[in-house]
Amino acid sequence: MTDQPLLRVRGLTKHFPVRQGLRSTGLVQAVDGLDFDVQPGETLGLVGESGCGKTTTGRMLVRLLEPTAGSIEFAGRDITHAGRRELRPLRQDLQIIFQDPYASLNPRHTVGRIVAMPLQVNGIKPPGGIKARVQELLELVGLNPEHYNRYPHEFSGGQRQRIGIARALALRPKLIVADEPVSALDVSIQAQVVNLLRDLQRDLGLAFVFIAHDLAVVRHFCQRVAVMYLGRIVEIGDRADIYERPQHPYTRALLSAIPDVTRLGPGGRIRLSGDVPTPLDPPSGCRFRTRCWKAQDICATQEPALVPRDGGNQATACHFPEAVGASLLAEGAPAGDAAGAIVEEVSP
């Protein structure tokens, strides 16, 4: 690892108060104590089911939401509670791509205005003029620069997402938070957009925090992956480790849900029973225990820490991590192992 990470997140927490009338009746613990780093040029995937707090995390990273607790350091500077003016120079290095390509572009602005917006807001006059820069950006993301004067409603979803990407690139950022950038797109378009992002990442040396619920997309794009469950990171590690040697039961369950044509039959499919508990009142101890087939008494009383296993880069928050080497891919169709047996019991 290099000396200083580009992004350093410690204990990042966001609680939303729930109000009824004037009284506060509870707290939604959307994100609860996240720790992770992103190195320059690195792509970190943030995966989990909807409602696990990954979007909230992304919003906090670009300071669209105010963190309740914890700290965010960007390029060595604490930006956790920085005001708009303090943030200004950093905004150029830190951008976001949104999920919904229909909602994220102002329908009353031309494409040129949309892409030029970050430049204008920050008072940047690129050499050769704003228009030239915008057209250059449009070309970079694979759009026709002649479409400068068109309106968003004249574009398809995939093209709109490209416009959103061009806008994020306008300031030449070092880190882009991509909040489910392809999940609103057709599958056929998804691959194009992900490939575009990967090319840009490679060519421009961008770092990404890539938020997604689609593990296949993350695997294609990310060097490191963090798995979230109910506002916490349950496992984080290099792509190969997470996908091939998952240690947390939840990661295993998620991975087993990826449809894979090479694994026919119901074999290793782990079906989680029950629903995700409400973040208003998360379970004590390990948050996953209510749906975990390995849960024991200790899981309800003691919260497992996110600790590295075997001195590697992979860290897991579980009292009973999977044995290292129990590669998911190595498991054959027969459901003879312990996990499979219990799955039979928990699945309805």
Partner 1 sequence: MSLSPVEGVALAEIESSADAGGPAVKGVVGRSPGQLAWLRLRRDRTAMVSGVLLIFFMVLGLAAPLIEMVYGIGPREQFQNLLDGFGMPLGYAGGVTGEHWFGLEPGLGRDIFIRLIYGLRTSLFIAFAAALITATIGVVLGALAGYLGGWLDAVINWITDLTLAMPFLIIALALTPTITLRFYGERGQVSSAFGVGVLIGVFAIFGWTSTARLVRGQVIALREREFVEAAKASGAGLGHMLFRQLLPNIWAPILVSFSLAVPQFITSEAALSFIGVGLSDETPSFGRMIYRSLDFLQTDPAYVFFPGITIFALVFAFNLFGDALRDALDPKSSR
Is 57 among the residues that bind partner 1 (CB under 8 A)? no
Q: List the structure tokens of 250.
A: 């939840």
Interface with partner 1, residue 158, by CB under 8 A? yes
Does the protein bind partner 1 through residue 88 (CB under 8 A)? yes
Residue count of the chain, please give it. Answer: 348
Alpha carbon distance 45, 28 (integer Å): 24
CA distances from 279 to 18, 29, 36, 52, 125 (A): 11, 5, 21, 9, 45
* Among residues 55, 104, 201, 316, the one that binds partner 1 under rule CB under 8 A: 104
186 lines the binding site for partner 1 (CB under 8 A): yes
From the list 27, 75, 130, 151, which residue makes contact with partner 1 (rule: CB under 8 A)? 151
Kind of pairing, strands 94-97 and 175-179? parallel
Residues contacting partner 1: total by CB under 8 A: 47
Q: Is 263 left (phi over 0), alpha (psi -120 to 50) or beta?
A: beta
Residue 339 identity (one-letter amino acid): A
According to the binding rule CB under 8 A, does residue 24 interact with partner 1? no
Choices 29-37, 93-101, 239-247, 248-256; region in contact with partner 1 by CB under 8 A: 93-101
Task: Work out whether 17 is an interface residue with partner 1 (CB under 8 A).
Answer: no
Min dist CB 165 to partner 1, Å, is 12
Pick the binder of partner 1 from 4, 24, 25, 106 (CB under 8 A). 106
* Residue 246 to residue 248: CA distance in whole angstroms: 6
Cα–Cα distance for residue pair 202/197, rounded to 1 Å? 9
The single residue among 45, 53, 118, 181 that binds partner 1, judged by CB under 8 A, is: 118
Q: Does position 23 bind partner 1 by CB under 8 A?
A: no
Q: Which listed range, 13-21, 118-126, 271-279, 282-290, lies at the site for partner 1 (CB under 8 A)? A: 118-126
Nearest to 247 by CA among 180, 320, 161, 178: 320
